[in-house]
Each structure stands twice: as C-alpha cells, then as structure tokens.
Amino acid sequence: MKIDLTETNSSKINAAMVQARRDIGTPAVGMVFTLVIVTDEENAYDALKSANDASHEHPSRIVVVIKRASRSPRSRRDARLDAEVRVGADAGSGETVVLRLHGELVDHAQSVVLPLLLPDAPVVVWWPDGAPTDLAGDPLGALGQRRITDTYSCENPVGMLGARAGAYAPGDTDLAWTRITPWRSMLAAALDQQALTVVSATVEGEGDNPSCELLAMWLADRLQVPVRRQLSPGPGLTAVRLATKDGDIVLNRADGGLATLCMPGQPDRNVALKRRDTAELLAEELRRLDPDNTYAASLKYGVSQLAAASAAPAPEAPAKAEEAAPAKAEPSKPAAKPAKKAPAK
C-alpha cells in the first residue's frame, strides 16, 4: 500500500502510517530500529531497494530523506514537505516513509525526521552517497547510534579515509570496511592453522580502492609489519601475500568470485570469496549496533603511515638479523680449542 502526502507535516505522516497498518490488518509494530537514509533522487531507488532487501533480516522503519535543490530564490525560501508512506509488500518487512524536502526545510531535516523515529529503539543513519566528513557532527548523524557511509562513492576515496579518521566518533562505520570482512576472516583463519611469523605483507587491488587501503592498514596495525600496496587491474581487491620465513601465505582472487588459498606445506585450496552487493553489506552492518573498535584502530593507523612503512626497507631487517646472528656465534666458538688440547694429553 502506498499513500502520497503533499505539503504535509510529521504529524500527518504518523497518522497515515497508523491508518495504513490498520487497513492491511497489522496494527502491531514489530520493528527493531529506525534506518534513516540520506540521499538524493539519483541514488534513492537503489538505496531503498537495498534497504528493503536488508529489512527481511532486520525488520525496521525506513525513513528516506531526499533533499530537493531549489533553483530560484523564491522556491528556496518556500519550505515544503512531500511524503510517501509505504506499508505491506511495498515496504519489505517493515514500513517506509519517503520524505522530499524543499526550500528552507532542507537545512532542518532533523526536525522532520525526529517525530518519525520509533520510540525507545536504536537509530541507524546511512549515507549511500555524499556523506559529510564529520558524521557524528551532522544534525541527522547526531540522531543515530550507528552511522554508515561508503567511502568508495567519494571522488577521492583514499583521501577521504584520512578525513574520516580525523573526525571519527564511536558508531561510525564504512561499507568499504564491510567488504573486506571475508578477507580478514580467511587470513586470520590461515594464521591460526600454522604458527608462522609474518615479516611483511602485500595487498594487491585497484587504485583508489578504500577497501584495499583499509585491509592494508588492518594488517599493518595487527601484525606490526611493513605492508606494501600494489596496483592490479581488479576487480576490486585481488590478492594478499603474507611473507613468512617458511614461505608465503597467498590469498588470490583474480576473477572477483573464487579465490585460491596457498599455504606452506599444504595443498592449494579454493575458497568462495565473491563480491557482495550493497544489501548484503548493509545487512551485515545492521547486525551490530555497538562501536567497531577494530575498524577504528585500522582507520586511525593512517594511509600516510602505511605509505611511510611500505617505503622503508624494513622487510630486509629480519634477513640481516639472521646473517648477523651466525657471525657473532662463530667468534664465540673457542669452545673448540679445548678439543684440540685433548689429543696433546
């Protein structure tokens, strides 16, 4: 069921949702949180479709905020709110409100959204595109316990990672980070299987891909080893190589679907590592509403520190240390001299 409301307000929208639920025979509200989507007309359809797909796992009230740019000075002064209420099959497993803000109301979106939030329920704010640098400082972002963005959609994704690190607040997260969850799980499991010491790492992927940078920063932060970034044709993240004294651990995904895991002393094995769509990424992020401390630590490691560490000749340090150790051991072998005196006796 769809209900169109023109030149309306939050009170009339709430009344329309109650009436719509009664009309379809579901007066009870069984939603667990409110998902606020801040987008534009160009990306609204895809964002709403992904949110509806994710709502089958997380029943929620979806509030879509579309800020309509006004062309003339008069229209910019005139504040108007148009809304579309969707319930039933048109709204996934919850209910949806599409808000179109005109004129001066664009600068006061939080005052329109606040009365539409579910009472005593968490709030998640998602920017599919055009997210502000300071998510928690944004008026709409301040309403949410969890704030989701996608650095991949920015004009300068790698540069934006530095800005996100500077303005990070507990509850911020990024779908570019969510994309590497299977990679992090696979690499952690590989290191758990064998007690190997990693001395350096290499991450291969497309240029200006924030997921590659985040994975490299995660490895550098957790393993405390130099991590080098190498460019590849893609798609996306293609390979990770962990250098150890006993051989390399390689996770290679050349086609974006099936990956090969190579480990020292073990046969190569194929693992499923397909590229996931936005609905799957969003559903994963909605499973947790607490701060992601691992993401925060990796993000704050910094792209500049990663570049400095990869440029330093640190990978050769373990080899030089190994060469120096025998050199010190040889002079300390005068223990062999008493062996020469033994025949003299």
Confidence at residue 341, expressed as pLDDT on a 0 to 100 scale: 40
For β-strands 247-252 and 237-244, DSSP reports them as antiparallel
Which residue from 187, 145, 190 is spatially nearest to 292, judged by alpha carbons? 145
Residue type, 207: G
Residue whose token pair is 């790492």:
201
pLDDT score, position 51: 92
Q: How far apart are CA 251 and CA 270, in angstroms?
A: 10
Report phi then psi at 272, rounded to 5: -80, 125
Contact 211, 236 (CB under 8 A): yes
SS (H, E, C) 291-343: CCHHHHHHHHHCHHHHHHHHHCCHHHHHHHHHHHHHHHHCCCCHHHHHHHHHH
State whether residue 238 is helix, strand or coil: strand
Output the pLDDT for position 27: 54
Sequence-separated contacts (24+) of 111-116 with Cβ below 8 Å: 112/10, 112/65, 112/81, 113/36, 113/63, 113/65, 113/140, 113/143, 114/10, 114/143, 115/10, 115/11, 115/14, 116/10, 116/13, 116/14, 116/34, 116/61, 116/63
Tokens 């209900």 appear where?
Answer: 3
Q: Helices 181-193 and 210-223 meet at what angle, rounded to 10? A: 30
Largest CA distance in the chain: 113
- Residue in the block written with tokens 């990424």: 281
Backbone angles phi, psi at 202, to 5 degrees: -135, 130
Kindly report the CA angle at 287 between 118 and 153, in degrees rounded to 5?
90
Per-residue pLDDT, 28:
54
What confidence score (pLDDT) does residue 167 get? 93
3-state secondary structure of 178: helix
DSSP letter for 254, please: S
> What are 174's two structure tokens?
């990024």
Query: In the chain, which stretches have pLDDT less than 50?
Result: 314-345
pLDDT of residue 312: 57
For 66-86, the pLDDT digits (tens) are 988 766 666 556 788 999 998
Query: Residue 343: is it exposed, middle or buried by C-beta count within 10 angstroms (0-12/13-18/19+)?
Result: exposed
Helix 210-223 vs helix 157-166: angle between axes, to the nearest 10 degrees? 50
Q: How far apart are CA 212 and CA 177, in angstroms?
A: 9
For the full predicted model, state whether its pTM sits above 0.85: no
Q: Which candidate, 54, 68, 12, places its Cα nearest to that of 285?
A: 54
Q: Quote the DSSP letter at residue 275.
A: P
Tokens of 43: 């990306």
